[in-house]
Amino acid sequence: MKTIDKIYINGEFVTPQGTEYFDLISPTTNEKLGKVRLGNTEDTQNAIRAAKNAFKTFSKTTASERIQYLTNIKSSVEKRKNDFINVMTEEYGGTLQFATISYEYMLKGFDSAIDLLKSYDFTKTMGQSEVQMTPIGVVGIIIPWNSSNGFIASKLATVIVAGCTTVIKPSEMSAQQTQLMMECLHHAQLPKGVVNIVNGLGEIVGAEISRNPDIAKISFTGSTNVGKIIAKEAINSMKRVTLELGGKSPNIILDDADFPKAIPLAIAAAFMNNGQACIAGTRLLIPENKLEEIKLIIKEITSNIIVGDPKNPNTAVGPMVSTKQYNRVQDYIQIGINEGAEILTGGLGKPDGLENGNFVKPTVFINVNNQMRIAKEEIFGPVLSIITYKTEEEAIEIANDTTYGLQAYVSSSDEKRAHNVASQINAGRVQINGIGHDPMAPFGGFKQSGIGREFGTFGLEAYLEPRALIQQK
Ligand code: NAP
Ligand code: MG
């Protein structure tokens, strides 16, 4: 039983003013792992004050100083590799496979941030003017539980590249993961107040960050509903917002795709991170005349998917983060059945022998049309909807017939054809013949998948304000 009773403000571990506790429950066994003491409005205000004060000097640091801080953070994160992987597995239920990849991405993210800092020109000439790209101020970072330390690392790296300071509010369900990150950041010896972390509830800590006039910008990842609440509040003090919201990503398998390669990739894209991923490819669009062939491949692959203990290195799908999330996924499977979709594999209930944890059966629906709720709404669990199309044009039309637009996938054995289809999809990222991450390319959504972009130059410039100096000669 662990008790986490400190938050991180102004370079110190402090006891929150808030006195409420939140139980930390294992997703794998539903046993209590520990508890976390939650910060309140006053704690949040203290953290914002510290960040505001630190901004005065941190905004003036040089690129080489910031590179040094990023290097320090990376090296302290490197020293705790096993702890990062283990705590994500235990507290969140991320599989060992996923937690390991996630950890590696986190490290690479610091390298990319350093590269960006080395190459980015903070002073530009535009027209007759000198344009100075200046750090925006204190950034509020509000994030969910599905990749908690990954989100902290990538957003914080951009904060430092830009010369900003930050107050971070992770999900209270990620408290042990957060504690580990706090220890690494403390060890990295950043100037006091550059990074502050407050555990607490969205409606209290998150709401104060959204409201407080000393926060200049919010970087949020989470649901579209909460993104809208934050954006509405932010406008009162004209905060800038970067919102990474939900998705219902289409995966177009063209008729000339190499099915034995493309279909396993499609299943991996749908069930990645236990299906709890905003970029999951949850609508699989396949040619109508290939349905029978593809059904056989899917049955074969899914019969070999190991669901279970996330610590087992062979496990592909672990538990849902909470019983709430488990129930949400069950509700959606029931909705799919009620809507008349047909279950190809999986279905309601827990897999045999896994009754204690929040395990769901990875589920594939066929006979889905794009108007059904299971095709329109983000489920955030391992549930895949298969939709058939007759022509390439129809596939593109279905892919774009969504309120979301975060990511999409296209498979074809003809690179030019895949490129042409990908270029017609309204999504922030389109993955062609695979799944990958490019930390220098923009990431973010069209439509209700969000506002703005993260990573690379686009990501950095969202943390900067341009100041044009127009000098008359
Ligand atoms: P969420 O409710 O959007 O929460 C994300 C973050 O926002 C959490 O830190 C949350 O705090 C905070 N928050 C909640 N209400 C707030 C408010 N009024 N003001 C400021 N901050 C607030 O997401 P969730 O509860 O973790 O998951 C719910 C659903 O969101 C999922 O089922 C999924 O559909 C979607 N989701 C999407 C992503 C993504 O990457 N796009 C990630 C996770 C979840 P609390 O934790 O205290 O509520
Ligand atoms: Mg919530």
For residue 321, give the CATH number of its domain: 3.40.309.10
Q: Kind of pairing, strands 383-389 and 464-469?
A: unpaired
Query: 168 is written with which tokens?
Result: 């971070």
Average pLDDT of the residues of the chain: 98
Protein residues with CB under 6 Å of any ligand 1 atom: 142-146, 169, 171-172, 201-203, 206-207, 210, 221-223, 226, 229-230, 244-246, 278, 328, 378, 380
pLDDT of 367 over the 90 cut: yes
In a domain, 443, yes or no: no
- Supply the pLDDT for residue 317: 98
In a domain, 276, yes or no: yes
> Which residues lie closer than 8 Å to 64 by C-beta, 6 or more apart?
none
CA dihedral 285, 449, 427, 153 (to 10 degrees): -110
Q: Are residues 279 and 148 in the same domain?
A: no
List the strands of the sheet with 123-126, edge to edge. Answer: 123-126, 129-135, 464-469
Q: CB of 322 within 8 A of CB of 146?
A: no
- Supply the pLDDT for residue 1: 84
Q: Are residues 106 and 204 in the same domain?
A: yes
Between CA 118 and CA 116 the distance in angstroms is: 5
Q: Could you say which of 90, 91, 233, 244 is catalytic?
A: 244
Mean pLDDT value of segment 282-297 = 98
In a domain, 31, yes or no: yes
pLDDT of 113 over the 90 cut: yes
The parent domain of residue 45 ranges over 2-245+448-469
Report the predicted TM-score, pTM, of the whole model to 2 decimal places. 0.98
In a domain, 36, yes or no: yes
> Which residues lie closer than 8 Å to 127 by C-beta, 6 or more apart?
none
Position of tokens 């990431």?
443
In a domain, 412, yes or no: yes
Q: Are residues 73 and 188 in the same domain?
A: yes
Residue 328 alpha carbon, nearest atom of ligand 1: 32
Q: Are residues 128 and 241 in the same domain?
A: yes
3-state SS assignment for residue 253:
strand
Tens digits of residue pLDDT in 43-82: 999 999 999 999 999 999 999 999 999 999 999 999 999 9
- DSSP E strand boundaries for 38-175: 123-126, 129-135, 138-142, 165-169
Tens digits of residue pLDDT in 417-443: 999 999 999 999 999 999 999 999 999
Between CA 50 and CA 336 the distance in angstroms is: 49
Between CA 11 and CA 201 the distance in angstroms is: 22
- Supply the pLDDT for residue 473: 82
What percent of the chain is predicted at pLDDT more than 90? 100
Query: How many domains does the chain contain in total?
Result: 2
Q: Are residues 216 and 302 in the same domain?
A: no
Q: Are residues 316 and 195 in the same domain?
A: no
In a domain, 355, yes or no: yes
For residue 51, give the CATH number of its domain: 3.40.605.10
Query: 314 is written with which tokens?
Result: 């062979």
3-state SS assignment for residue 362:
strand
Q: Are residues 284 and 178 in the same domain?
A: no
In a domain, 269, yes or no: yes
**Would you tell me how many other CB atoms lie within 10 Å of the CB of residue 29?**
13
Q: Are residues 430 and 462 in the same domain?
A: no
Q: Could you say which of 164, 172, 233, 278 is catalytic?
A: 278
What percent of the chain is predicted at pLDDT more than 70? 100
Residue 325 alpha carbon, nearest atom of ligand 1: 32
Residue 291 Cα to ligand 2 midpoint, Å, equals 38
Q: Are residues 110 and 219 in the same domain?
A: yes
CA dihedral 58, 462, 184, 315 (to 10 degrees): 180
Between CA 336 and CA 293 the distance in angstroms is: 23
Between CA 281 and CA 179 the distance in angstroms is: 31
Q: Are residues 49 and 6 in the same domain?
A: yes
Q: Are residues 175 and 299 in the same domain?
A: no
Which run of H or E residues covers position 117?
Answer: helix 96-119
Q: Are residues 420 and 453 in the same domain?
A: no
Which run of H or E residues covers position 404?
Answer: none
Q: CB of 168 within 8 A of CB of 149?
A: no
In a domain, 105, yes or no: yes
One-letter identity of residue 447: K
Q: Which of 37, 102, 147, 223 to mutate to test the pocket of ligand 1 (most atoms within 8 A of CB)?
A: 223
